[in-house]
Structure 1
Amino acid sequence: MTSSSPIAVVGAGVVGVACARALQRAGRQVVLFDPAPPGSLTSSGNAGHIALDHIRPLARPDVLAGVPRMLTTPLGPLTLRWRGVPALSPWFARFAAAALPARVTAGTTALAALLGTALPDWKAELQTAGLSDMLRRQGTLTVIETPGRLAAARAEGRLLASHGVAFRDLSGAEVMAEMPGLARVPAGGRLFPTAAHVLDPFGLVQALAARFVADGGTLVAAPVTGFRRGEGRITAVVTDAAEHPVDAVVLTAGLASATLGRDLGLVLPLTAERGYHAMLAPDALPVPRPTSFAERGFVITPLAHGIRLAGTVEFGADGRPPAWARADILAQHVHTLFGREVEVTERWHGDRPTLPDYLPALGAAPGHANLLVAAGHQHLGLTLAAATGRIVAALLTGTPPGLDLKPFDPGRFARRPS
């Protein structure tokens, strides 16, 4: 791509901003489109983890087998809004197909390769932007409460080790030494010593966007309503106010990528996978590092402005009011785990853009010579943002991306499953 026109990045969540920054560092002029302030939607409320251990797609047999139990557990990590379920039937069918063992193995290999550079890519971006102090490398802890889950964790550990994920298994006593505030000794745990987290997910995206503008990037606070096309290319991005000539387009608009992609002939079956968080005061809990609780499906992260409890999965909630009881469940978990009442200072909800095979759509889109897609990062938007930006910049500047992108092909959902 050598035109004098800029590259358009559509969507200013953490992935979009990271793509814009990577292209800018590669010497390209970039226009970033989003009607909302950068990072103010789903990106603002994540758990803050650079989750290097999340190499297994959630579309897999053990998750399917556990759905009935999770749905019947009042404090469980999964719930359905039943009125929204019928419309999700095609998505669930694709999810079940993606959970076939051969596809899970292939998806794990692909996701592990993508996650392999997640932390170095973030370190490079933050160092260039002068924001290295927003990243903390204190490791992460997983607490495993029951012997049954501990046995499953051992099998998972062999898979993690085979893909080069660094970790150390802990006894219950060792977990208590890492987190002495727990009310009772768990069955065991796992420490990921090289993992990292950010101190302020929303502030990080805001700071990167400010750097993008300071370095000559353009931010257009307007929704993209369409595209002009000619000779197999996108020639302009259209908003209500103007048409913007472009050399290429990167579609990274979260859930809106499905609608915008449909106008371009793309099939992107994204669903809104709602999550919640609750904030506590900075001194509410003795939490030295980000900690997840395997059976409960939630995470506690010490951030710059307080302690974040994040997690839960809610399907069928798109367009519906939040069920704040899902956020309150997180505080109930804390009461059980630490034996103390905590005061929630803030509650939040957001909709993760999720594809049924739990792999992002990343790469060149079929039918257009200058369209790339970077959408559907599910729970890994923050984790994979900098790696995604590097790959997008490589593709648009003719540099090898460093891994096989075929598993992430944005056109894969338009084909009949094999």
Structure 2
Amino acid sequence: MTCASRELDIAVIGAGIVGVACALQLARQGLRVVLIDRQAPGMGASFGNAGHLATEQVFPIADLSILKRLPNMLMDPMGPLRLDWKYLPSAMPWFVRLLLNLRPAPYRRSVAGIRALNEASLEAWRRLLGSLGQAEMLQEDGSLLVFEKPQSAAAVDALQARMLGQNVPVQRWQADTIRQAAPQLSEHLRGGLFFPATGHFLDPHATVMALYEAAVAAGVRFIRRDVRGARLKADSIGLATDQGELNVPRVLVSCGAHSARLTHALTSKRVPLDTERGYHLMLPHEHRRLPFAVTSLERKFIMTPMSAGLRLAGTVEFAGLERPANMDRAWQLQRLSRGLFKKELDARDATPWMGFRPSLPDSLPVIDRVCDGRVLLAFGHQHLGLTQAAVTAQMVGGLMGSGVEGLPDLEPYRLDRF
């Protein structure tokens, strides 16, 4: 089966939050867009993310302490940062590049690049959801990082200083302030950091679907196919799918952790993309425990109140795209929650989940237009895909001629940095 290129201006491959937001942006600019995914829209990593608008997270996914943690990463299957030893040979080139990016100059470039996207993300989401008449999907009520151990206070103070050094709005909260704002949390908490310029989504999947419905209303067509290959042709781009070839004039590769193969096929560039396997546990009987997202410093996971209950999320596992999920890591999140509340959480009917977060070793996404303008790229947002989706869509729109002002400079996100 073929699709005539004259019927389209661009094919967007990937119907996660980034791909759908980009498809909507491009359609609103008057382009004829087809959206392609092997799953229904929003059913990949976008379905199960933590729902946190993490504008405060301006630092790369790792620092030099990862060297000390490597033995535990390999030995502890339930640890917050897990590297499957069977995946170690495949992961080593990526980890070497990660360590190289922790040198002072590359690290500063990564922080600047993440910060630029995050600083523009909240306003981008306000504009996007406002254009749908659904601003209430995003609760702009801040988020809280808490700590329990007295010896953690120094680390919290140091983190606050680092955040202030990057102009991240942050407030030091004492234990009594936490008790007033979130009275169901344990009285054993010592204090924390409150980030007022953050928020959370009441239903991440519903947010994707709201954007998708707006995209369809703007003329976007959705095709459920598995794009298995791609090649540049003289007058089109051929996409090899499980249902035949599609020929399109331009393509946007935005299929998350699966983007490297198509990018290489189209550009001959080998992108060092790996995947953080993230887990969540959804508690449907917990609706009023927290007023905002709360992260535990020591336990290293986040709890986000949503319309469907309380979502416990976090932990990072490096095990590739092929190994089956270890759902005990999702249930470990319930065990981690014990002691953080005055009354333990209700885990009846809880559902576990695992998804793939696309990560590059410098913690920056690829946002670019290459191959004489025929190939656009928007992938590799690691655990900030939801946070950065709206601003990424605006930047992709800018690559296709929109005049949105105040967007981050594209240079840090170019493909040719690899």
* Same fold at TM > 0.5: yes
Change (3 A) 1:73 1:177: farther
Alignment partner, residue 391 of structure 2: 387
Query: Residues of 2 paired with 1:239 and 1:69: CA distance?
Result: 41
Q: Is the 8 A contact 1:227 1:235 kept in 2?
A: yes
Deviation at 1:254, TM superposition (A): 1.0
2:361 is the alignment partner of 1:356: yes
Per mean C-alpha deviation after superposition, the further-off stretch among 219-228 and 36-45 is 219-228
CA deviations 1:165-203 (Å, max 9, x no partner) are 212111122222222223342232011122111111111
Deviation at 1:332, TM superposition (A): 0.7
Alignment partner, residue 79 of structure 2: 76
Deviation at 1:136, TM superposition (A): 1.0
Query: Residues of 2 paired with 1:284 and 1:196: CA distance?
Result: 17
1:257 paired residue among 254, 259, 262 = 259
Change (3 A) 1:146 1:212: same
2:138 is the alignment partner of 1:135: yes
CA deviations 1:236-283 (Å, max 9, x no partner) are 444344544434221101121111112121212211211111111343
CA deviations 1:334-380 (Å, max 9, x no partner) are 12222525315111111111112211111123x44321211111100
Q: Which amino acid aligns with 1:101?
A: P
Query: Residues of 2 paired with 1:154 and 1:145: CA distance?
Result: 14
Change (3 A) 1:401 1:249: farther
Query: Residues of 2 paired with 1:167 and 1:190: CA distance?
Result: 6
Seq. identity, %: 37
Q: How does 1:18-29 map to 2 (within 5 A)?
A: 18-29=21-32
Change (3 A) 1:287 1:385: same
Q: Is the 8 A contact 2:24 2:218 kept in 1?
A: no
Per mean C-alpha deviation after superposition, the further-off stretch among 80-89 and 32-41 is 80-89
Corresponding residue pairs, total: 409
2:169 is the alignment partner of 1:166: yes
Q: How does 1:119-198 map to 2 (within 5 A)?
A: 119-198=122-201
Gaps of 5+ in 2: 1-5
Change (3 A) 1:238 1:317: closer
Q: Is the 8 A contact 1:234 1:371 kept in 2?
A: no
Q: Is the 8 A contact 1:59 1:98 kept in 2?
A: no
2:352 is the alignment partner of 1:347: yes
CA deviations 1:278-320 (Å, max 9, x no partner) are 1113436621111111121111011111110001111125311
Q: TM-score, normalised by structure 2?
A: 0.91
Q: Is the 8 A contact 2:28 2:218 kept in 1?
A: no
Gaps of 5+ in 1: 414-418
What is the DSSP-based 3-state SS (H/G/I as helix, E as strand, rest coil) of the residue aligned with 2:141? Answer: coil
2:218 is the alignment partner of 1:215: yes
Aligned-residue Cα RMSD (Å) equals 2.2
Q: Which amino acid aligns with 2:41?
A: P
Q: TM-score, normalised by structure 1?
A: 0.91
Change (3 A) 1:228 1:81: closer
Q: How does 1:309-348 map to 2 (within 5 A)?
A: 309-338=312-341, 340=344, 342-344=346-348, 345-348=350-353
Q: Which amino acid aligns with 1:371?
A: V
2:418 is the alignment partner of 1:404: no
Q: Is the 8 A contact 1:8 1:237 kept in 2?
A: no
Per mean C-alpha deviation after superposition, the further-off stretch among 267-276 and 9-18 is 267-276
